[in-house]
Structure 1
Amino acid sequence: MPNKGASPENLRSKTPSKPSTADASSRGGRTTGSPSDVRIERDTMGALEVPADAYYGVQTARAIRNFPISGLRFSRAFIRALGLIKAGAARANAALGLLDPERARAIEQAAREVAEGQWDDQFPVDIFQTGSGTSTNMNANEVIANRACELLGQAKGSRYVHPNDHVNLGQSSNDVIPTAMHVAAIDQIREELIPSLMRLHRALRTKAQQFDKIVKIGRTHLQDATPIRLGQEFSGYARQMELSIARARHALDVLREVALGGTAVGTGLNTHPRFARMVLQYLSRELRVALKEAVNHFEAQSAQDSVVEASGCLRTIAVSLMKIANDIRWMGSGPRCGLGEIHLPETQPGSSIMPGKVNPVIAESVTMVSAQVIGNDVTITVAGQAGNFELLVMLPVMAYNLLQSIELLARSSENFRVRCIEGITANRAVCEGMIERSLAMCTALAPVIGYEAAAEIAKESYRTGKTVREVARARHILPDAQLNQLLDPWRMTEPQVPKPNKAARR
């Protein structure tokens, strides 16, 4: 979901479509705004105006101008992951003697503040940016560096704490961004998605037990089939959610292996051999999930097959929710001219023109979430093919779609449970009233009188409007007691094979 705190209107320079007008180097270092409103920062491409109160710096300012695309921003979960990675990196670099303790402490504190959400409005870079996510990595480096400078009594932009030399020490965007994607996804799946699915599973299982004594007509191809218990239908939904939980846990497992430590191309250039292991130990403690360094860094950075696989798990969960929500809509259709087998909670007026109409809006919301997640998976699948040699260059859009899918599934599952599933009641009279009229009742007769004879009864029943029981009784094909036993709806909801009646088959 878009990061609400990062308002592009507030943070973007006044003329993003004309970067040359704001490049202070082209005007000899002079600014176009009031000196109190902006400061000048420089990078390897020259000087640029940055809002005086901004914690981000010159590279973020360039990215704001370069990518005025969508207004979509990285989520809270992703920024939290970035902050945790940078905090762990500062601690590891200090322990390894690569970063002085004063700067390390300030960087870790600033990074923790980022992880806790204190500076979300300082992350304005669009999702549709450089394919490695370098702009967002530098956005984090600059915010943390400038906040660390402030904590040490230095001015923002002073570079006393340097975004590259200190905050990004031992790292590259090429290993940080995919690691942040994995970490954020793991955190969301573990803390939000799996608990929501577990609660939905329990609610469906409870309904399956409540409805187990209610027999209704089954349907295949949207046509009448043999009887089934309403509880049996709901037990199928509960099992789908049980399997969805297993799929979410599998997604967790495939995401545990992360790219950190590979730096630019997977060789680990400019990083200490123990750096990644130390940072991952820090992250594992924070997340209470065991992370591990990539077995092969060249695979971990040139491809994101694990993200594609995890997204496939999410897509399957979405497909399951779509099926359940659609069944709920069908069974609740009516209230007088539809199936009307269940009553759905009334949540809001359904029509601006038809008084009294109430629609299955919660189930419809679930189906739209499912469609979005399925679409997100298509994007992730396409992005997963964008690994050219040593780097996959669609990381930001992969991360955005993956994290959005997790968040949508978690929230939608919870809402589905609270505002729909838990409030469903059965319409026993409708469920049981439809059974006797079903032509598929003749299925129970087929093993005894033969398929063709049973089909003739079904055809006559349909042609005359009589029930299967009435037609069979009029034909005297079986004694009434046996006929009533065979056509007992409850009996049809359990496995059994009746003995053939040789006399009836002649």
Structure 2
Amino acid sequence: MERLLRIEKDFLGEKEIDPSKYYGIQTLRAKENFNITKTDISLFPNFIKSLAKVKKACALTNYELGDLSDMQKDAIVQACNEIIDGKFHDQFIVDPIQGGAGTSTNMNANEVIANRALEILGKPKSSYDIIHPNNHINMSQSTNDVYPTAIKLTLHELIYKLKESLRFLRDCFEEKSVEFKDVLKMGRTQLQDAVPMTLGQEFKTFAVMIDADIFRLRDVQAHLREVNLGATAIGTGINSKAAYQRKVISNLREVTGVDYIAAGDLIEATQDTGSFVHISGMLKSVAIKVSKICNDLRLLSSGPRAGFNEINLPPMQPGSSIMPGKVNPVIPEVVNQVAFEVIGADMTIAMASEGGQLQLNVFEPLIAYKLFTSINMMRRAFYSLGEKCVKGITANEEVCMENILNSVTLVTCLNPILGYEKSSALAKEALKTNKRVYDIILEQELFTKEELDELLRPENMVTNLSKDAK
């Protein structure tokens, strides 16, 4: 038997809607108008859950203020809880990039919650005289306070997940730093030989770099605790009761378990997207650091016969359709590309923030889309880098040591013992004869082989040799 379509109306006209759907006419119009990314907001489940948490806090507040009945409150809260538990996400169908400053997303949530609440009460969908998307679900609210608040809730959770991926990656580098603690190699500046260090020290540095950004991300999260919920349209709190703003923040804390606070000036908070710019900048900083680490891994593993070849990255797939045996550093390469995407997104977010006008920034949908996408890509990339690359790295110890013995800068390490003039002469002789400094020292009987090998032990090469010689 063919299902009868339900009819919904707005001031622009009416639409036929599949009776199995929980969204309504405004969601359907948005779906028709915005076909930009070919995805929908259910791509970001944390965001859907955040919208439901905000709506739940608002419903509890309106009930406490006497504006919702027990029946309405219970049905709305149950509908919100179900969405928070992951249900009905397929009903959130609007494109993440949309005109209207997020109104389509807010109305998608309002309509789904209203129709699910009606179903809970045993009423037909679209029975809006009982529970209405605007009059009841959106009571004392505007898209302009609901939407940015939900974005902040989502970012708060996503940054926790980003930090988890960074901790995993940091730990992978920490483990390698211990494994490689006795592998002596040549350090380099400006791609030229510098002085010896251990491969363990090099990998420890990667871990320290990442750990510093984990700490900075904690500071970024603090910027997300200030929300403008209760501001309604432009920050004046129009259409809400005097006690609403204080109570809704309290209920938001209860619903989320996070100590959210009200913005000091709601008019300013409604139009200012500076916190999103700050977060984006921090994401860019993290991406740049990890990309630099990937550059180093690719360089250190280059060759293998005609490059640095100091480390081996785990082979993941054949690297060429024409050159047999070629294996490429595909995991660091893909992480580099994620970093480029994040850096580009930061510019997009900057332009979107700057483009805001007067009491509202209409480009918040693009800001949210880029922030959510950047964090999700980074998380996946960091886990991949740690699991599929860093954990499987091995050291070519003989190559590392041979580079030291061949390097003229070996004399720098012996300078405290031999003196500058003698060290310079050794360097000059090595360059002239193309001999190893190591061999010239033995030829000139400056040290016995045992003494020189002792000086070249990792623990001696990376500390002050003049101190050890006394």
- Give me the TM-score of the superposition, normalised by structure 2: 0.91
| Cα separation, 2, equivalents of 1:229 and 1:89 | 58
1:166 aligned onto 2:133: no
What is the Cα deviation at residue 56 of structure 1?
Answer: 1.1
Q: CA deviation at 1:63?
A: 1.2
Query: Is residue 2:12 matched to residue 1:42?
Result: no
Per-residue CA deviation, residues 281-322 of structure 1 (Å, 9 max, x unaligned), is 344344432111111112211111111111111111111111
Structure 2 residue 290 is matched with structure 1 residue 321: yes
Aligned to 2:93: 124
Pick one of 298, 307, 311 that aligns with 1:342: 311
Q: For 2:374 and 2:114, how far apart are their aligned partners in 1?
A: 32
Q: Match of 1:48, as an amino acid?
A: K
| Residue-by-residue CA offset, 1:185-237 (whole Å, 9 max, x unaligned) | 101112x1122212222221121112111100111112222111001001101
Matches within 5 A, 1:228-307: 228-307=197-276
CA positional deviation for 1:479:
6.0
Corresponding residue of 2:58: 89
Identity of aligned residues (%): 42
Letter in 2 for 1:174: N
| Alignment check: 8 A CA contact 1:137 1:176 kept | yes
DSSP-derived class of the 2:409 partner:
helix
Where does residue 54 of structure 1 map in the other structure? 21
Could you say which residue in structure 1 is the equivalent of 2:179? 210
State which drifts further: 430-439 or 35-44. 35-44
Is the 1:64–1:124 Cα contact (8 Å) retained in structure 2? Answer: yes
Q: Distance in 2 between matches of 1:436 and 1:230?
A: 16
Output the amino acid matched with 1:57. G
Match of 1:380 among 346, 349, 363: 349
Deviations 1:46-103 (A, max 9, x none): 2223333221111112212222222143211111110111112112211221111111
Report the Cα distance in structure 1 between the residues aligned to 2:244 and 2:419, rounded to whole angstroms: 75
Greater CA drift, 333-342 or 418-427 = 333-342
Q: Give the alignment's Cα RMSD to 1 decimal.
A: 2.6
- The counterpart of 1:220, out of the listed 189, 204, 207, is 189
Report 1:400-479 matches (<5 A).
400-446=369-415, 454-455=423-424, 457-471=426-440
| Partner SS state of residue 319, structure 1 | helix
In the alignment, residue 357 of structure 2 is paired with which amino acid? Answer: N
Tell me if structure 1 keeps the 8 A contact 2:94–2:105. Answer: yes
Given the alignment of the two structures, is residue 71 of structure 1 paired with residue 38 of structure 2, yes or no? yes
TM-score (norm 1): 0.85
Q: Counterpart of 1:280 in structure 2: which amino acid?
A: I
Per the alignment, residue 23 of structure 1 pairs with none
User: By how many angstroms is 1:108 displaced?
Assistant: 1.3
Give the conservation status (yes or no) of the 8 Å contact 1:448–1:498. Answer: no
- Which consecutive unaligned segments of at least 5 residues does structure 1 have? 1-33, 501-506
Deviations 1:345-391 (A, max 9, x none): 23333333333333222222221221111111111111121221111
CA contact (8 A) 2:314 2:388 kept: yes
Equivalent position of 2:126 in the other structure: 157
Q: Deviations over 1:7-53 (max 9, x none)?
A: xxxxxxxxxxxxxxxxxxxxxxxxxxx98463321112222233332
Match of 2:362 in 1: 393
Letter of the 2:83 counterpart: V
Q: Secondary structure at the match of 1:387?
A: coil
The answer (yes or no) to whether the contact 2:441–2:447 under 8 Å persists in 1 is no
- Superposed displacement of residue 455, structure 1: 4.7
Residue aligned with 2:354, SS = coil
Determine whether 1:177 maps to 2:147. Answer: yes
